[in-house]
Amino acid sequence: MPRLFGTDGVRGLANRDLTAGLALGLAQASAAVLTQGRRAAERRAQGRRPVAVVARDPRISGEFLTSAVAAGLASSGVDVLDAGVIPTPATAFLIADIHADFGVMISASHNAAPDNGIKFFAFGGTKLPDEVEDRIEAHLDLDKLTPTGGDVGRIRRFADAEDRYVVHLLGSLSNRLDGIHLVLDCAHGAASGVSPQVFTDAGARVTLIGADPDGININDGVGSTHLDNLAKAVVLHGADLGIAHDGDADRCLAVDHDGNVVDGDQIMAILAVSMAERGLLKDRTLVATVMSNLGLRKAMAEHDIEVLQTRVGDRYVLEELTAKGLSLGGEQSGHVIMTDYATTGDGILTGLQLVAEMARTGKSLAELAQVMTVYPQVLVNVRDIDHNALHSDDEIAAAIRDAEAELGDSGRVLLRPSGTEPMVRVMVEAADQPTADRLAHQLADVVRTRLTR
């Protein structure tokens, strides 16, 4: 039976894969697992129940799923603080801010409106490791002793949730954003209320697109996965830059005044150099994934900044940041984690810090982005194959060696099996686009020939 939890919680087609019954069961199982330990025992000894923060993005299915999650938690003796529609990083912040025992975010991030998901956060607002998710999944099939009478949980509105988060974000700034005009694309998602307020309060002039959620238009042609409209709006309004979030606002991508995309790698490069210059980049080290562009590593080397690599996924970036006590990491997709202020990727925080750097230096985003050269990167997905033999096939290994020999120091090759389907991702970076295209497709052909079932 396939694992219920994916790379970022439980996700699927709402009311088909992800039902109210499953949401209730997951909530009850999470209450059983996440309220174990000394902290929960101390609460109970004081006659207090465990507390969980619950929030969602604006998609319509979030309404019934939030009700199911809240019911599951309360029926398990957990007091629920319903924070309403707020970004995922706001949920993580609030868990830590009020010392809640754990929290739940109902969101499918950048997915289309019919999908939804359930993400769990532990005490302190951190994502759960795989082994804890496995324990929650195992508890789904166990009989649970549920409380009665005054021991059942209460469900209350978290009245000042958004205000707490706004104050926190503004407190991260060392300078204001006065004089900067930006176009803000909120993906018709969870950032639609908070992000415009924060940027405006910080002094920026804000033009909005994608900030009218109706429950079914989230990520629909807008947000960080659809940057064309943002680029057009920046040029049309003569803005200094554009910032794009995804549906739950844990990502940030940008476009400069000419509409050119500035991705997560470039944003990390800008922030890393700035933080290093100001003595804020712990151990002069940045954490990125194996998919980050070769240009990022070369740029960091030029500034005497070490780059540590992890598996793909912001949870693995965070694990490395936490283990080494580091301050900055992220992904090319725009998940950027600044551990001085957040326990997860925060698209609004990232955007604020990026615009603050423009204001601090007086440089345009295009000028700041010149800190790194983006190498052409080609990704080819080879589907319907047996990827288990990927790393043991001699002909594939020989093809990789030949490609690496041709590239030398001016590129790299990465073959990565999918963790969820029979597929291998072939990625090639090179100094020029034709070489990247040619080598990527050559390698993909070898993989297809050797591993086709």
Confirm whether residue 250 is marked as ligand binding: yes
Q: What share of the chain is helix, strand, coil (3-state, %, to 5)?
A: 40, 20, 35
Query: Which listed residue (109, 172, 224, 333) is catalytic?
Result: 109
- The region, left, alpha or beta by phi > 0 then psi within -120 to 50, assigned to residue 354 is alpha
Model's pTM, two decimal places? Answer: 0.92
The band of 207, judged by pLDDT with boundaries at 50, 70 and 90, is very high
Q: Is 201 helix (H, G, I), strand (E, B) or coil?
A: helix
Pair of tokens at residue 48 = 């207090």
Q: 121-125, 341-345, 404-408: lowest mean pLDDT where?
A: 404-408
Instruction: Please say if the pLDDT value at position 113 is more than 90.
Output: yes
Q: What pLDDT does 8 receive?
A: 82
Confirm whether residue 248 is marked as ligand binding: yes
Q: What pLDDT does 40 receive?
A: 67
**Domains delineated in the chain:** 10-159 (3.40.120.10), 164-369 (3.40.120.10), 377-451 (3.30.310.50)
The band of 423, judged by pLDDT with boundaries at 50, 70 and 90, is confident
**34/36 Cα distance (integer angstroms):** 6
Q: What pLDDT does 419 receive?
A: 64
Confirm whether residue 392 is marked as ligand binding: no
Each residue's pLDDT tens digit, 379-411: 999 988 877 778 888 899 999 999 999 999 888
Pair of tokens at residue 207 = 């033009």
Question: Which residues is 307 bridged to in the sheet?
Answer: 286
| CA nearest neighbour of 110 among 331, 273, 386 | 331
Annotated active-site residue 109? The verdict is: yes
Residue with tokens 């803000």: 184
